[in-house]
Amino acid sequence: MSVPVLRGSFAPGTVAAGTQPLLVLLPSLGTTTALWDGVVARLRADAAGARLRILRVDLPGHGASPVATEPFTIAELAEAVLAIVDEAGGGAFHVGGVSLGGTVALELAAAHPDRVRSLFDSCSGARIGTPDGWADRAASVRASGTASLVTGSAERWFAPGFLGADDGAGSRALHALVEIDDDSYARCAEALAGFDRTADLPAIDVPALLVSGQHDAVTTPASMQEMADAMPDAVHVELDDVSHLAVLEAPDAAADLLLGHILRTEAGAEASAAHARGMQTRRGVLGDAHVDRAIAGTTPETAAFQDFITRYAWGEIWSRPGLSRRERSIATLASLVTSGHEAELRMHVRAALRNGLSPDEISEVLLHTALYAGLPPVNGGLAIAREVFAEVAADEASDRASDPEPGSTDPH
> Can you give the pLDDT at residue 267?
85
Q: What is the pTM of this model?
A: 0.72
Q: How many CB atoms lie within 10 A of CB 409?
A: 7
The pLDDT of 212-239, averaged and rounded, is: 95
Query: How far, in Å, CA of 295 to CA of 263, rounded?
Result: 30
> Can you give the pLDDT at residue 343?
85
> Can you give the pLDDT at residue 403?
61
The domains of the chain are located at 8-249, 321-402
Query: How far, in Å, CA of 59 to CA of 34, rounded?
Result: 12
Binning pLDDT at 50, 70 and 90, where does residue 51 land? confident
The pLDDT of 350-365, averaged and rounded, is: 93
The answer to whether 336 touches 380, Cβ cutoff 8 Å, is: no
Which strands form 116-122's sheet, in the order they lie side by side? 8-11, 53-57, 22-26, 93-98, 116-122, 208-213, 234-239
Residue 105 has pLDDT above 80, yes or no: yes
Element (H, E) at 94: strand 93-98
**409 vs 61, higher pLDDT:** 61
Residue 23 has pLDDT above 90, yes or no: yes
Binning pLDDT at 50, 70 and 90, where does residue 407 land? very low
What are 161-206's pLDDT values in tens digits?
Answer: 998 887 789 999 999 999 999 999 999 999 999 999 999 999 999 9
Proportion of the chain above pLDDT 90, given as a percent: 64
Q: How many CB atoms lie within 10 A of CB 293?
A: 11
Q: What is the mean pLDDT of the chain?
A: 89
Query: How far, in Å, CA of 412 to CA of 231, rounded?
Result: 51
Binning pLDDT at 50, 70 and 90, where does residue 98 land? very high
Proportion of the chain above pLDDT 70, given as a percent: 95
Least confident of 10-24, 140-154, 211-225, 282-296: 10-24
Residue 272 has pLDDT above 80, yes or no: no
The pLDDT of 248-264, averaged and rounded, is: 93
The domain covering 8-249 belongs, at the CATH homologous superfamily level, to Alpha/Beta hydrolase fold, catalytic domain (3.40.50.1820)
Query: Which of these, 154, 145, 155, 148, lies nearest to 173 by C-alpha position?
Result: 154
Residue 392 has pLDDT above 80, yes or no: yes
> Can you give the pLDDT at residue 13?
57
Query: How far, in Å, CA of 283 to CA of 292, rounded?
Result: 9
> Can you give the pLDDT at residue 312?
86
Instruction: Give CATH for domain 321-402.
Output: 1.20.1290.10
Q: Is 303 exposed, middle or buried (0-12, 13-18, 19+ CB in 10 A)?
A: exposed
If DSSP codes are grouped into helix, strand and coil, which group holds residue 25?
A: strand
> Can you give the pLDDT at residue 342?
85
> Can you give the pLDDT at residue 150?
94
> Can you give the pLDDT at residue 12?
60
8-249 and 321-402: identical CATH topology:
no
Residue 408 has pLDDT above 70, yes or no: no
Query: How far, in Å, CA of 180 to CA of 34, rounded?
Result: 13
Query: How far, in Å, CA of 275 to CA of 270, rounded?
Result: 8
